[in-house]
């Protein structure tokens, strides 16, 4: 694994210095984008998992914390400006990524703020390696997906739906519908920001 600074701040992120972290998974090299701003004790910000997941959703929190801390905000593999390779994005991938990223970027236990489903990965790593975190803050922690929460336990149907979404033609069509700007804007309004601004919605075009 390696890291490299690639540019200064950008409106599509949190306003910090952008760095690429190169990570290997199943013999494939992924470019992971993260940002650093502020100075002081480090704090890692992990955005929630969703169609619109990006480190930019942590911007206001990052700017606030950067007054006293060094803030690091990352785009998960497959999200934001990080690589979106053809991989099986399963829990094991994200568990290993988080462990490797933290050990590479930080040289001491670090405070972490994890939103949504990111909370589960933070707690999994905390159980596996208790000393890796100095403090843990979970923001709206989520332990199950929207289908299970809204429709109950129907794992067989959900596995079938997963196969449909992964299919070459139908799945691509469904994904395209799920990622058009108007639908992403709806997602931001309903699930991400309490007060989304036009500037936030315009940032969608940068991904």
Type and span of the H or E element at 86: none
Residue 9 is predicted with a pLDDT of 47
Q: Above 90 in pLDDT, residue 149?
A: no
Is residue 6 scored above 60 in pLDDT? no
Residues contacting residue 186 through CB under 8 Å, at least 6 positions apart: none
| In the predicted structure, residue 204 carries a pLDDT above the cut 70 | no
Q: Which residue has the higher pLDDT, 154 or 111?
A: 111
Helices (H), the chain: 59-65, 91-105, 118-128, 146-151, 155-166, 170-178, 181-187, 198-202
Does position 102 have pLDDT exceeding 80, yes or no? yes
Sign of the Cα torsion 182, 35, 57, 28 reads positive
Calculate the CA 135 to chain-centre distance.
Answer: 19
> What percent of the chain clears pLDDT 70, i.e. is strictly above it?
79
Quick one: 1-143 is in which CATH superfamily? Answer: Alpha/Beta hydrolase fold, catalytic domain (3.40.50.1820)
Least confident residue range of 62-71, 84-93, 137-146: 137-146
Average pLDDT, the chain: 84
Reported as a single tens digit per residue, the pLDDT across 10-28 is 545 777 999 999 999 999 9
pLDDT digits (tens, 9 = 90+) for 13-72: 777 999 999 999 999 999 999 999 999 999 999 999 887 788 998 999 999 999 999 999
Residues pairing with 207 in the sheet? none
Query: In which band, very low, low, confident or very high, does the pLDDT at 158 lie, cut at 50, 70 and 90?
Result: confident
Mean pLDDT of 79-93: 92
Query: Is 73 or 12 the better-scoring residue by pLDDT?
Result: 73
Domain map (residue ranges) of the chain: 1-143, 145-207
**What pTM value is reported for the model?**
0.79
Give the model's pLDDT for residue 183.
Answer: 76
- What average pLDDT score do residues 147-167 get? 73
pLDDT band at 134 (very low <50, low <70, confident <90, very high): very high
Q: With 70 as the cut, is the pLDDT of residue 161 above it?
A: yes
């Amino acid at each position: 694994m390696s890291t490299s600074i690639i540019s200064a701040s950008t409106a599509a992120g949190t306003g910090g210095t952008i760095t690429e972290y190169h990570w290997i998974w199943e013999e494939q090299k992924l470019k992971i984008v993260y940002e650093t701003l502020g100075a002081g004790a480090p704090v890692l910000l992990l955005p929630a998992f969703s169609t619109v997941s990006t480190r930019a959703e942590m911007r206001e929190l990052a700017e606030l914390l950067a007054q006293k801390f060094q803030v690091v905000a990352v785009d998960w593999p497959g999200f934001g400006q990080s690589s979106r390779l053809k991989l099986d994005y399963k829990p094991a991938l994200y568990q290993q990524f988080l462990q490797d990223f933290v050990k590479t970027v930080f040289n001491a236990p670090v405070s972490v703020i994890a939103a949504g489903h990111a909370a589960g990965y933070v707690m999994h790593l905390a159980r596996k390696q208790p000393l890796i975190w100095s403090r843990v803050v979970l923001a709206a922690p989520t332990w199950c997906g929207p289908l299970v929460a809204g429709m109950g336990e129907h794992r067989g149907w959900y596995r079938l739906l997963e196969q449909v979404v992964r299919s070459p033609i139908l799945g691509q069509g469904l994904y395209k519908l799920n990622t058009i700007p108007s639908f992403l804007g709806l997602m931001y309004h309903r699930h991400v920001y309490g007060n989304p601004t036009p500037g936030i919605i315009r940032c969608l075009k940068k991904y």
